[in-house]
Structure 1
Amino acid sequence: MSYRITSYDTLQANISAAGTTIMLCRANLEQVELSHEDMMDLLWRIERQIAELKGMQVELDHMSQRRRASRTLIKSRLRVVGCCP
């Protein structure tokens, strides 16, 4: 079984499932007894997840900028051809 994400649909489904999981954890957070060490561990894990999401956001921003730049480059190479002599 491959865990590689190869399509927008798979990526979107995974992001959606992660969001749902986080909302469910947050909704029941006050009902869970946590030691100080447990809280510190959870805070560390949350920070790591936020860092991963921010990294993904930066990568998507770079991809978007590169695509815009390549479209501009392609358009600038096109020459205007008159329709009438």
Structure 2
Amino acid sequence: MPSRLDITLNLLRILACFLEQSQHRIRPDITLDELGADSFDVVELQAVIEENFAIHISQAIHTYTTFAELVDLVFSAMSSPPVPPH
């Protein structure tokens, strides 16, 4: 399982690329809304993150989700047992 640091760095890269932002602008307390994401962006972003990490995030990501919360969501999803396919 990747470390929290690996997850953080990978998410930083994904967010910067997806939202066309500088990685230096992304800090733990910044919300996705502050990075320019709208509700449609976060739905697509969640799919990108789930695919990239091969996980399922059980709760919806929102525009008010902070970067630190996003790291926690991915870390938790990676720590939980995989969901069987339907």
* TM-score scaled by length of structure 1: 0.29
Could you say which structure has the greater relative contact order, defined with CA pairs below 8 angstroms and 6 or more residues apart? 2
TM-score w.r.t. the length of structure 2 is 0.29
Larger Rg: 1
